[in-house]
Amino acid sequence: MKHVAYAAAFSALALLTGCASQNVSQPTVPLNGTVQTNLKADVKVGEPISGQSSVNILFGVFKLGGDTQFADGVTYGGGEGGFALGLDPVASAKSAAAYKAVKASSADVIVAPRYEVNVQDYFVYKTVSVSVTGNKGTVTSIR
């Protein structure tokens, strides 16, 4: 009987105690910096240009092949967010296609770029193909 009383007391003690976690969050304000200049560029619009790129993704993390040179200075939203390790294959392919279009045509910018994105998803394997078209933009002067 004594063992039953000890077991009941131990069970009651185990049921009445538990784990607790506490999370204190501090609201923050995002730091957004802006740079304003009084510079204006004159851009000469030329002939149509285009570029293509593709990338293969394994398990949503590992990039297989693809391009190694990318356009910088522009944020390319992919709409395929949530990839592990910050990998966004759509943005990467857009950047590479823009680089190829600008490099092949000796342009300074792509005027009115239009991106065509094709994603083939096979659950563990994904192929992202991007083509960009626009017009060649050449900066003639900056004032």
User: 39-92, pLDDT tens digit by residue?
Assistant: 888 999 999 999 999 999 888 778 888 888 888 776 666 554 444 455 677 888
The answer to whether 115 and 128 are in contact (CB under 8 A) is: no
pLDDT band at 6 (very low <50, low <70, confident <90, very high): confident
Backbone angles phi, psi at 120, to 5 degrees: -105, 110
pLDDT at 36: 81
Residue of 48, 56, 47, 50 lying closest to 131 (CA atoms): 50
Tens of pLDDT, residue by residue over 91-132, are 888 889 999 999 999 999 999 999 999 989 888 888 989 999
SS (H, E, C) 15-45: HHCCCCCCCCCCCCCCCCCCCCCCCCEEEEE
